[in-house]
Structures are given as C-alpha cells and as structure tokens.
C-alpha cells in the first residue's frame, strides 16, 4: 500500500513538472495570493459571505427600537436618555418612544418600530402580559427582544432580560425595616403597613415577596402588626405605581386605623408609592412618631424627602449600569456574539427561563446621598436643591 502511494506521488510530481503546477484544489489556496491589483484594492468577491455591503446594519450600526413605559416618572426618562446616548455612541440609530402608561400606545409604538426595520427591540413594558401579539410579529421578523427592567410574560419572543436583582431590592427594604426597628431585640409590637406597585408588573412579585421573606416571620410572631390587615400583595398593589392612588389608599388607612395609634413602618416598594404615603402622612396623621418608609429608585422627589427625614431609605438602582449592560446586549445581538448574562435560573416568563443580566441594587439613606448620588455624578447638588 505504502509503495503504491509513493508511486502515485512520484508520478504526480513528474506530471507537475511537465504541465506546470496549477492549484488542484481551489479550497486549499487562500484568497490572498489571487493577484491583488492596485486598482481594485478592496473589491469584494462573491466568496466573502458577510461583507459590509451585504449586511450594513450588522457591521455599522442599525436601527434599535427602545420602548419605555412612560415619561411621567423620572427613572424612565433617565433610562431612555442613557440608553439612547450609549447606543448612539456605539454607532446605532435609536427610535426611543415613551408609552404614556397606556398599553395600546405602547403596542402601536412597537408595531411601528417593527415596520420601520428595527434590528433589535428593547422594551420596558407597561403591562408585562399585554405584548404577546405584537411580539409574535417581532419573532416572525426575526427581531430579538430584550425585556428591559420588567420581564415580559408569556411570550416566547423574549430573548434576553436586563434588570436589577429585584428580589434583592425587596430583601434590602425588609432588612432595613428589621434593623431600624431592631425587631430581634426590641419588645414591640410595631405597627406596619404595606404598599407595592402595579399588578401587571412582574417585578412586584420579586420586590414584595423578597421583602416579605424578611418581614413575614415577625408578622407571624406578632412583633409586627398590620392594623389594616392588608398584607396580601394584591390588596396592597397600586395601579400604575401612581403616587395619587398610593396617597388615597393611605389617607384611608390612616384615618381608619391610626387616628389614635402610632404607625412605625411602611414597606413601600418604590419611590413613587413612598411619596404617596408621605403625602398622606402630611395630610392625615397626627402622631408625633413618624414611620420609617422604604423606597426604590432614589428619584429626586424621594431623595429630597430623605434629606427632610420624610422617607428613611431608597434602593438605588444605577440606571447608567443597566443602560450600559443593555447596550452590550444589543451590540452582541447585532454582531452575532454572546450577550452578557449572569443569571440563567430566576426569571421564567411562562415560556421558559429567560437568560438575564442582573445589576446590583444598593441601599441609600440620607447619609449616603453625597457619596452614592452626588459624588458618582448621578445628580448635581443643584438637582437636589429646593
């Protein structure tokens, strides 16, 4: 066998000498020796599949649709603006829309993004259960969808989820109340009330249940008492996370249950609801002891309230970090590489677990405002001046 091979080799060499060495297998000859001419330096050939000419959007930016729920709340304005700036820096064109907290408006904004040729959609939903149909359209058009901050439920069109560790947000609020009231040592009992956000926002399950994972044992033991009896998530939810609805509910609670009682703590899932509670306390509470109120977002109104001791804490979620991570995700999807993910187990949207990136939330109290919010450049002193 070996001899036969050697013979074939010798024969072909001899043949080569006579005929001249033509490449026998084109695949073995790399393209570069193919006589580069000075006149046509970059002439793309049909054999190069992903030339910039054939897929300009992938190589050189492209249109990204960013749908935010509302511009009524400061955080979404900031999220939207941060993301737009960062995406543009990375070379993309951005269609940024705010949905006025109105589901049909958000749906039609997303439809427009799809028909305008967006290559990736980033969506912070108003109601996580209402986007199934429009996202089916995105899927048909092979447009990847990143759920931003709020998970979009029951749609298999959702490719990735960029958010904060929402469970941890709730845990930090619960721990803050536990430690501030010294629940493990003080005699108590202490009165507490609860308020969370929109029932259509999947995040409330994490915020509220995370906080309850800390506080429920103290309710069970009687160290914490909820005079209104409203401890179930759906009883303490606030449509649209609206400050006026939170205020209304707390005015009722305060006049019905706290006319002659002290309220020690309010677990509020975020700042817009915490502000409603603070407003209600200002109008309908006469006790000398002001309750501990939690919050989330460090929005300007609540940061000012912290400075005036009208809210004890907020959980800071640096929207610059979230925007930056989301931009990395978009960029990876555009370029066909792997988006960053650090959680593959927590967020099941009803169709399966959505690969997620969870950013870190941080507790912020009055004492941390300088360092966390001002020194980091999130706010200027002027932003927080009255």
Rounded to whole angstroms, the Cα distance separating 114 from 120 reads 9
CB of 297 vs ligand BGC, minimal distance in Å? 5
CB of 113 vs ligand BGC, minimal distance in Å? 21
Q: State which residue, 183 or 364, has the beta carbon closest to ligand BGC.
A: 364
8-state DSSP, 316: E
- Beta strand pairing status for 313-316 and 362-365? antiparallel
Nearest Cα residue to 258 out of 301, 225, 222: 225
Q: Which one among 84, 86, 150, 245 touches ligand BGC, defined by CB under 6 A?
A: 150
Query: Using CB atoms, what's the residue nearest to ligand BGC?
Result: 270
Q: State which residue, 76 or 190, has the beta carbon closest to ligand BGC.
A: 76
Q: Which residue has the tokens 């001046």?
A: 385
The token pair at 77 is 């304005």
Tell me which H or E stretch contains 253: helix 243-257
For position 270 contacting ligand BGC by CB under 6 A, the verdict is yes
How far from each other are the two terminal CA atoms of the chain, in whole angstroms? 94
Rounded to whole angstroms, the Cα distance separating 265 from 181 reads 8
The CA-based dihedral angle spanning residues 306, 307, 310, 313, taken in that order and rounded to the nearest 10 degrees? 20
Nearest Cα residue to 238 out of 275, 267, 195, 299: 195
Per this entry, what is the length of the chain?
A: 386
- The partner residues of 95 in beta bridges, in order of sequence, read 65
Q: State which residue, 84 or 317, has the beta carbon closest to ligand BGC.
A: 317
CB of 198 vs ligand BGC, minimal distance in Å? 7
Q: State which residue, 181 or 274, has the beta carbon closest to ligand BGC.
A: 274
For position 165 contacting ligand BGC by CB under 6 A, the verdict is no
Q: State which residue, 75 or 325, has the beta carbon closest to ligand BGC.
A: 75
CB of 301 vs ligand BGC, minimal distance in Å? 12
Per the CB < 8 A criterion, the answer to whether 120 and 334 are in contact is yes
Q: State which residue, 191 or 294, has the beta carbon closest to ligand BGC.
A: 294
- Binding to ligand BGC (CB under 6 A) within 72-91 occurs at 73, 75
Question: Is residue 187 classed exposed, middle or buried when 0-12, 13-18 and 19+ CB atoms within 10 A define those classes?
Answer: exposed
For position 251 contacting ligand BGC by CB under 6 A, the verdict is no
Residues in contact with ligand BGC, counted by CB under 6 A, come to a total of: 13
Cα→Cα distances 161→153, 178, 202, 204, 356, Å: 11, 31, 12, 16, 5
Q: State which residue, 149 or 165, has the beta carbon closest to ligand BGC.
A: 149
Q: Which one among 149, 165, 175, 318 touches ligand BGC, defined by CB under 6 A?
A: 149
Q: State which residue, 61 or 69, has the beta carbon closest to ligand BGC.
A: 69
CB of 65 vs ligand BGC, minimal distance in Å? 19
The token pair at 258 is 């706290």
CB of 223 vs ligand BGC, minimal distance in Å? 28
For position 172 contacting ligand BGC by CB under 6 A, the verdict is no
- Binding to ligand BGC (CB under 6 A) within 343-362 occurs at none
Q: State which residue, 72 or 88, has the beta carbon closest to ligand BGC.
A: 72
8-state DSSP, 369: I
Per the CB < 8 A criterion, the answer to whether 335 and 309 are in contact is no
- Binding to ligand BGC (CB under 6 A) within 184-213 occurs at 197, 201, 203
Tell me which H or E stretch contains 266: strand 265-268
Could you tell me if residue 113 is left (phi over 0), alpha (psi between -120 and 50 degrees) or otherwise beta? alpha
- Binding to ligand BGC (CB under 6 A) within 283-302 occurs at 296-297
Crossing angle for the helix pair 300-307 and 271-284, to the nearest 10 degrees? 50
For position 241 contacting ligand BGC by CB under 6 A, the verdict is yes
CB of 246 vs ligand BGC, minimal distance in Å? 11
Q: State which residue, 65 or 170, has the beta carbon closest to ligand BGC.
A: 170
CB of 323 vs ligand BGC, minimal distance in Å? 13
* Site residues (vs ligand BGC, CB under 6 A): 73, 75, 149-150, 197, 201, 203, 241, 270, 272, 296-297, 317
């Amino acid at each position: 066998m070996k001899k036969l091979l050697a013979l074939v080799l010798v024969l072909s060499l001899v043949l080569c000498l006579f005929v001249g060495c033509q490449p026998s297998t084109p695949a073995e000859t790399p393209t570069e020796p193919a006589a580069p001419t000075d006149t046509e330096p970059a002439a793309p050939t049909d054999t190069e599949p992903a030339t910039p000419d054939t897929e300009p959007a992938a190589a050189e930016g492209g249109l990204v649709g960013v749908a935010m729920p509302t511009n009524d709340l400061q955080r979404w304005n900031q999220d939207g603006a941060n993301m737009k700036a960062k995406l543009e820096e990375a070379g993309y064109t951005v269609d940024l829309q705010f949905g006025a907290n109105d589901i049909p408006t958000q749906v039609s904004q997303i439809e427009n993004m799809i028909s305008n040729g967006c290559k990736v959609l980033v969506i912070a939903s108003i109601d996580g259960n209402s986007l199934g149909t429009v996202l089916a359209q995105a899927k048909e058009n092979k447009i990847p969808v990143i759920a931003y901050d709020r998970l979009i439920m029951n749609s298999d069109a959702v490719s990735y989820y960029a958010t904060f560790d929402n469970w941890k947000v709730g845990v930090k609020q619960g721990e803050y109340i536990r430690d501030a009231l010294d629940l493990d040592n003080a005699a108590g009992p202490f009165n507490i009330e609860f308020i969370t956000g929109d029932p259509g926002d999947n995040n409330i399950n994490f915020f509220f249940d995370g906080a309850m994972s800390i506080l429920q044992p103290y309710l069970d033991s009687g160290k914490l008492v909820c005079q209104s009896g409203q401890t179930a998530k759906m009883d303490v939810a606030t449509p649209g996370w609206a400050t006026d609805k939170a205020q209304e509910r707390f005015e009722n609670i305060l006049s019905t249950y706290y006319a002659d009682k002290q309220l020690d703590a309010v677990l509020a899932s975020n700042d817009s609801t915490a502000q409603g509670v603070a407003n209600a306390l200002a109008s309908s509470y006469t006790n000398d002891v002001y309750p501990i109120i939690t919050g989330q977002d460090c929005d300007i109104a609540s940061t000012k309230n912290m400075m005036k001791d009208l809210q004890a804490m907020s959980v800071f979620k640096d929207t610059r970090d979230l925007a930056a991570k989301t931009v990395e995700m978009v960029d990876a999807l555009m370029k066909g590489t792997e988006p960053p993910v650090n959680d593959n187990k927590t967020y099941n949207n009803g169709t399966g677990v959505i690969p997620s990136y969870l950013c870190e939330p941080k507790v912020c109290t009055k004492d941390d405002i300088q360092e966390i919010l001002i020194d980091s450049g999130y706010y200027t002193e002027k932003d927080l001046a009255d």
